[in-house]
Amino acid sequence: MPYAGSPMTASHYERLSFLDSTYLALEGPSTPMHVGATLVFEPGGGVDVDALRDLIADRLRHVPRYRQRLEWIPIERHPVWVDDAHFDLGFHVRHVALPHPGGPSQLRSLAGRVFSQQLDRSRPLWECWVVEGLEDGGFALITKVHHCMIDGIAGVDLLKVLLGPAPDATVAEPPAYLPRPGPSGVGLLRDEVVRRLRAPVDASRSLRRFLEETRDVGSEVRHRARAVANTIGSGWFQNTSATPINGRIGPNRLVAWIETDLGQIKQVKDRLGGTVNDVVIAIIAGALGAFLAEDRGVALEGLDVRAMVPVSLRDGDSAGRLGNRLTMWLVELPLEVRDPAARLARVAARTRRLKETNQALGAAMLTGGASWTPGTLLSVAARLAATTARPFNLTITNVPGPQIPLYLMESRMVANFPMVPLWVNHGLSVALFSYDGKVCWGIAADAEMVPDLERAAAHLIAAVGEMGTAAGMPERETVVEIEEAT
């Protein structure tokens, strides 16, 4: 929530939530905690970089967080957002060209390098790289935003800032940027003391509102208590099996991309059951099982391998707001089940159980209950938990996007490959973005732990085909954005 100082100072700042602060605390030299994407645009007349900068300058008024930087409350060290009085758009919007021949390999290599680099915490935590020199005459944008200020669902809303449903070369004159003055360190500390003294009163008011608004208090309390209990017992405090994709990671990232037909995945769901997300998870489980067994020589029987799957808590009122409003599921991956239909049934049964026990609510309550943890303690606790515990082996996130073509000025976007960060001791992550009838898969990996990422991508392509065959569908051509695996 925003805070304002006294009328004399008229200072302004916003306190980061517990979850947003956690993403900052988890970051280290080998674990940059930003999300990103590579947006590819159709061949044509290229891009006017100056016009694009003017467009971004104009649209930033709709996303004020992009002109805010971090500040910290003295002693407690909890982060807050303040307007950046020295905001420089040129630092954030960068212009590069690919080396010859400018193919997918060169674009992926650049995206991996950009994704490997930490964002500068003294500035607003985002970058946009305009990439020319693609072999087909098109161009690309490589974007990255720190996870502390955005989650996947909010990211979809942010596309509306720059992209539109029709070509439009109109660029308005950017309005003047007038940063609000930030608070002094003394002012931040004073406000924090007042906030903590006021906490018991606020808690009492919240409880009173809860009692007034809840018809069946006992039922609601029992429901929430069961959700927390189910979450605690779901594996968050139990380590998974050690695998070749879990261990000490370095700072360098590789990325791989593929495109598949969204209609095919929906047909699999209709014919075999489950949800689109269930089909996606089952496909990834099949690909990961094949990769571990065939390329790493791992025996799959008896392995306890889980994926962390973000679940959005956003509603209509919070859509489009920056900041993280999500929680996480832990989904067991039946790697040893090689039959695609049986694997999908296992995944669907697991996710149904997660919904029935309302573990998204339980996880949200657990993280919400820690929101009063001092920043210095939070940082230590987050790093300790990340290095000593392994409740999941990889991250899988699936973000639904618009199913119509979108344009940046006059250029049509043809693909949007997402990237999500690697947690400590996690060498692989998979992110999906559905757009205009296709699914864009973005795979990120630690360059040392998974140097043969193209092999994992090849297994993913095969798993998509196997799932379609199991559903009785004719083979379809998969658009591949990786070089053929040898």
Query: For residue 242, how many other CB atoms are within 10 A of its CB?
Result: 15
Cα 257 to its chain centre, rounded Å, is 16
Q: How far apart are CA 359 and CA 277, in angstroms?
A: 17
Closest CA to 336 of 290, 396, 296: 290
Say which of 12, 78, 147, 426 is annotated catalytic.
147
Cα 439 to its chain centre, rounded Å, is 16
Directed axis angle between helix 359-368 and helix 18-26, to 10°? 80
For β-strands 428-435 and 394-400, DSSP reports them as: parallel
In the residue annotation, 459 being an active-site residue is answered as no
Q: How far apart are CA 398 and CA 392, in angstroms?
A: 17
Q: How far apart are CA 118 and CA 114, in angstroms?
A: 9
| Residue pair 78/192 in contact by the 8 Å Cβ criterion | yes
For the chain, the maximum distance between any two Cα atoms, rounded to a whole number of angstroms, is 71
Phi-psi region of 282 (alpha: psi -120 to 50; beta: other; left: phi over 0): alpha
Q: Which residue has the tokens 């300790």?
A: 384
| Residue pair 439/257 in contact by the 8 Å Cβ criterion | no
Long-range (24+ apart) CB contacts under 8 A made by 477-481 are: 478/258, 478/259, 478/260, 478/261, 479/258, 479/259, 479/260, 479/438, 480/258, 480/259, 481/104, 481/108, 481/256, 481/257, 481/258, 481/259, 481/415, 481/417
| Residue pair 43/52 in contact by the 8 Å Cβ criterion | no
Residue positions annotated with a catalytic role = 147
